[in-house]
Amino acid sequence: MNSDQFETELTPRRIVEFLDRYIVGQDKAKKSVAIALRNRVRRRRLPREIAREIAPKNILMAGPTGVGKTEIARRLSDLVNAPFVKVEATKFTEVGYVGRDVESIIRDLAETAVAMVKSRMIEEVQVSAAERAEQRLVDALLPGSERRRSMPDIMKIFGGEKEEAPKPAPEEERARESTRRKLLALLEEGKLDDREVEIDVVESQSVGIPILGGSGMDSMGINIGDMLGGLLPKRSRRRRVKVSEARRILQAEEAEKLVDMDAVVREALEKAAEEGIVFIDEIDKVASRGGGGTGPDVSREGVQRDLLPIVEGSPVPTKYGTLNTDHILFIAAGAFSSVKPSDLVPELQGRFPIRVELQPLSREDLARILVEPENSLLTQYSALLGVEGVDLEFQDDAVAEIALLAERMNAEMENIGARRLHTMIEQLLEEVSFEAPESGARKYPISAEFVRERLEPLISDGDIRRYLL
Ligand SMILES: Nc1ncnc2c1ncn2[C@@H]1O[C@H](COP(=O)(O)OP(=O)(O)OP(=O)(O)O)[C@@H](O)[C@H]1O
Ligand SMILES: [Mg+2]
């Protein structure tokens, strides 16, 4: 599917349907996210003058811990064909943090975009790259071409080539041509795949160059290795490999050469600016109540202030060029248990006009989360133990029982949402999991009774449950 088709088909309804495959409930959040994505497609189809004016409607997701905020972002990034980065706001409150670092988010976005566009372009040149690789393979296989190829490039520059390899006689030339054709045919049929051949492989550039720059240079997105890499002559090394392997190596090398990096960078920067999505998780952790004050609050508020220009739209220097953040979509999320969105600095609040609240999970939600999502928790455990021949059979009442106990634990202890299910299932299946290799192939029915027997003792022991569940 090309990207235009992809966009047309990515209707809000489709996006929600996709998210439904993995996330139970949270319909409002799914809907908001879907609309925000669609709005960008709409904007891009407008005339430039009006499109310029339309700022993305950034989203703030709030809701208790473990109810699917991060999960929504994760799934979204799989779905959209757009540069996407996810960061935790707390990363910027760490020791040694310097203001500029927040811009690293945007540099990462540029990096992601470049990788995306490049890999697409590499895909597009594969046919030509394959042809060129075959030609090089023939050269490598053909006896006599050896001497010319092994001569260092530097000597060719000084005309060494002409001296060492005088022009062959016409009949010799014809014979060579015919051998080449035969070899090419054999290669294409894969008949030479198991033969060995010597090829020159370009060594990767960044190896062995120590990092000289301090954090200052790093924060500018300048990598000394990259800089030198472009200047140093490419080093290559002779390697003896199977023809099939050589074909793979040479094809990759040729594809690299065929891709126009300037075009990649140009398209990537535009794509990042127009379609980029930044997910800022744990935003509540940089909010503080009451404002002002000293200590950690200052640094937290500092992070918000640093985020501000980026979210408001500003040019950020990256090693590929300037990336303007005006139209990047920001989605922020946080549990907001002890602080509220209104505890964020006002300017930042204003940049997140769309608020969605995620709901705490009910007992029914927990039961559904166990079984419904694609590759749900129970499916994962069944698959893992299936490898040992153990066939887990979760009965319906067992699923209901696990959900009931998880709900109880969340109510009596800390409410950690669906995360509770992970620890509970782990405890539930500990014995089975331990014994599976010896117990051999068999069915293993899991009933409500079994769930109670395994989990009740842990739950009723106040000390134990604090550690285990
Ligand atoms: N609504 C849901 N549907 C399916 N799985 C869910 C849902 N909510 C949570 N989970 C599962 O629970 C785990 C934790 O969810 P997630 O990481 O999304 O929590 P969160 O809302 O980001 O919480 P926090 O505020 O602590 O970061 C994940 O493994 C996720 O798959
Ligand atoms: Mg999270």
CATH number of the structural domain spanning residue 369:
1.10.8.60
Pocket lining: 377 vs ligand 1, CB cutoff 6 Å: no
Query: DSSP characters for 347-388?
Result: HHHHT--EEEEPPPPPHHHHHHHHHSSTT-HHHHHHHHHHTT
Q: Which of 16, 26, 30, 67 maximizes ligand 1 atoms within 8 Å of its Cβ, making it the mutation to test the pocket?
A: 67
Roughly what angle, to the nearest 10 degrees, separates helices 448-460 and 396-412?
20
Q: Is 221 in the pocket of ligand 1 (CB under 6 A)?
A: no
CA–CA separation, 282 vs 338, rounded Å? Answer: 13
Cα(173) to centroid of ligand 1, in Å?
69
In a domain, 266, yes or no: no
Q: In this structure, is the dihedral angle defined by the CA atoms of residues 142, 148, 151 and 152, taken in order, positive or negative? A: negative
Residue 122 CA neighbour count, 13 Å, CB half: 13
What Å distances lie between residue 201 and 82, 180, 410, CA to CA? 33, 22, 58
Residue 72 lies in a domain: yes
Distance 419 CA to ligand 1 centre (A): 7
Determine, yes or no, domain membership for 103.
yes
Say how far apart CA 442 and CA 421 lie, in whole Å. 25
Detail the DSSP E strand segments found in 196-339.
Answer: 196-202, 236-242, 277-281, 315-318, 321-324, 329-334
pTM: 0.78
CA angle 145, 146, 150 (to 5 degrees): 120
For residue 68, the CA-to-ligand 1 centroid distance in Å is 3
- Same domain as 131, residue 105: no
pLDDT for the residue 218 = 47
Atom of ligand 1 nearest to the CA of 281: 27
Q: Which regions in the chain score pLDDT beneath 50?
A: 146-151, 160-162, 207-219, 292-293
- 24 pocket-lining for ligand 1 (C-beta < 6 Å): yes
Same domain, 103 and 224: no
379 within domain boundaries: yes
Are 17 and 114 in a shared domain?
A: yes
- Answer yes or no: are the C-beta atoms of 199 and 239 closer than 8 Å: yes
Q: Which atom of ligand 1 is nearest to the CA of 23?
A: 3
For residue 318, give every residue at least 6 positions away whose Cβ sits within 8 Å of its Cβ, in sequence order, or none. 106, 107, 110, 111, 221, 269
Residues 135 and 247 in one domain: yes
Residue whose structure tokens are 């290799």: 437
Please report whether residue 308 resides in a domain: yes
Task: Give the Å distances, CA to CA, from 253 to 120, 124, 264, 454.
Answer: 16, 14, 17, 57
Beta strands 315-318 and 354-357 are unpaired
Residue 24 CA: nearest ligand 1 atom is 3
| Whether residue 375 sits in one domain with residue 297 | no
* 156 close to 273: Cβ distance less than 8 angstroms: no
Output b/e per residue, 180-206; b: 16+ Cβ within 10 A: beebbebbeeeebeeeebebbbeeebe
Residues 382, 307: one domain? no
Are residues 36 and 108 located together in one domain of the fold? yes
Q: What's residue 31's pLDDT?
A: 94
66 lines ligand 1 (CB under 6 A): yes
Q: Are 132 and 221 members of one domain? A: yes
Task: Indicate whether 368 belongs to any domain.
Answer: yes
Instruction: Return the ligand number nearest the Cα of 30.
Output: 1
- Taking the CA of 26 as reference, the closest ligand is 1
Total number of domains in the chain: 3
Q: Using CA positions, which residue lies closest to atom 1 of ligand 1?
A: 24
DSSP count for the chain of H helices, then E strands: 24, 11
Query: 370 lies in which domain range?
Result: 363-468
Residue 107 alpha carbon to ligand 1 centre in Å: 28
Distance from residue 65's CA to the centre of ligand 1 (Å): 7
Which of 331, 357, 383 delimits the end of a domain? 357
Domain end position, chosen among 357, 386, 421 = 357
- pLDDT at residue 137 in the model: 87
Q: Which of 116, 36, 42 is nearest to 84 (CA)?
A: 116
Q: Tokens in use for 197? A: 């051949």
**Any idea how long the chain is?**
469
The answer to whether the CB of 285 is under 6 A from ligand 1 is no
Q: Which of 325, 357, 389 is the last residue of a domain?
A: 357
Nearest CA to ligand 1 atom 19: 66
214-225: string of b/e by CB count within 10 Å (b at 16+)?
eeeeebebebeb
| Residue of the CA atom closest to atom 25 of ligand 1 | 65
Q: Is the dihedral of CA 255, 257, 263, 267 positive or negative?
A: positive
Answer whether residue 155 is part of any domain. no
Instruction: Identify the pLDDT of residue 171.
Output: 82
Taking the centre of ligand 2 as the mean of its atom positions, its distance from the CA of residue 247, in whole angstroms, is 44
Beta carbon of 382 within 6 Å of any ligand 1 atom:
no
Whether the Cβ atoms of residue 84 and residue 77 lie closer than 8 Å to each other: yes
**367 and 417 inside one domain:** yes
C-alpha span between 318 and 311 (Å, rounded) = 16
On whether both 409 and 442 belong to a single domain, the answer is yes
C-alpha 303: how far from its chain's center?
24
Query: The tokens 């739209």 sit on which residue?
Result: 313
Q: Are residues 41 and 70 in the same domain?
A: yes
For ligand 1, say whether the CB of 335 is within 6 Å of any of its atoms.
yes
285 occurs within a structural domain: yes
User: In this structure, are 130 and 247 located in the same domain?
Assistant: yes
Amino acid at position 232, single letter: L
pLDDT at res. 340: 87
